[in-house]
Every structure is written in structure tokens, then in C-alpha cells.
Structure 1
């Protein structure tokens, strides 16, 4: 049994009686890339948009899962960059960079708080 977040994409493809080779041909993509995409082993925006176009599926749930996964890493890296910048000399340029990173962190963590309220 598949446990991929893309289960619905696999199901819609199968309900249309299409195999990976068929969809790969229609999207002009490699069959292996589509298989990895459906299994959740790769993130492929072209495949996601192609499946949306072919099967008229909402891309919001899988797209949110992709960006939610990446957002945690991005937020972590923002905090690491902030720490590095704060340990450098306090030049005007570095202070502006610190301010910019802080602005991004506030936006990203505020969006996370907002999304968690809806769950």
C-alpha cells in the first residue's frame, strides 16, 4: 500500500486507466521521475503542475506539504545565518543584513503560527 502524500494523484491516474508511461509521454517527462514523484521521493514542480492540468486536481495540499517541509529547513537556516551575522563585526552592511534576516524570520514564524491555528 502506498503511503505517499501524493496518493490521490496516483489514484486519479489509475482511475483514468493510465500507466506512468502514458503520463510521462503526455508531459514529455521521464517515467522514473514521475514514479519518484508519486512515491514522494522527489519534488517535481513540472509533474505537480502536469498532474493538475491532466486530472484537474487541486495542487494546494501537495504544494503546501512540499513548502511546509522546506520551510522548516529554511527557518532553521535563517536562524543559523542570523547567528553567524551577529558574530561578525557590526558594520552598517552587516547590521542591515541582520535586520533583513530578522524581518524574514518574523514573517516566516508568523506564517507558521497562523497556519498552526487553522489545524
Structure 2
């Protein structure tokens, strides 16, 4: 066997998959947080106890928090050195999606203005 194959084999046998996949406790914590962050806005909308503006603010806030819960507990995105490239890829993807959405809205707005009969 070659020297590089022995190194890779040693690396693979000593590697802990729980470092990548997470533990049952972290998945359960993420699941419970996601469940709570889903039930609260659902209850607020169904019960209709607060005004529409507050409902929109609460649902939006819970959605943003739930995005971060999913990133941390299920996608394992954190600020460690190992996850640095994944974090950069995530930020780049968010940037591209934002540019596409804002650009599309801008184009549709200007098309609407230019197509209106004078």
C-alpha cells in the first residue's frame, strides 16, 4: 500500500462522524425549537388576538429566528474554522438571491411604468 493511502485510511478510521452529523441531543433541541417557533406564529394567526401589523412582525421575527435555528442545529453552520467555507458559500448564495430578487422587482417596476398609457 502506498503511503498516502495509509494516511487516508488512518484518517478515515479515526474520524468521528458525530462531529459532522451532530448528536441526537442537538437534533432534538433543534426540532423542539423549530416546533415552538412554528406553533407560536400559527397560534397568533389562528387566535386573531393581536392587530395585523403585530401579527406580521411576530411571524416575520419567528421566521428569521427559525432560519438561524435550522442553520445551527441541522446544517451545522457555525463560526468554527472547519465551517468557514460553508459560511462563505451561504453568504454568497444569499447575496446572489438578493440581487436576483431586487433586480427582478426593479425591472418589473420600470416595465410597469413604461407600459402605462399616457
TM superposition score normalised by structure 1: 0.36
TM-score by length of 2: 0.36
More helix by share: 2
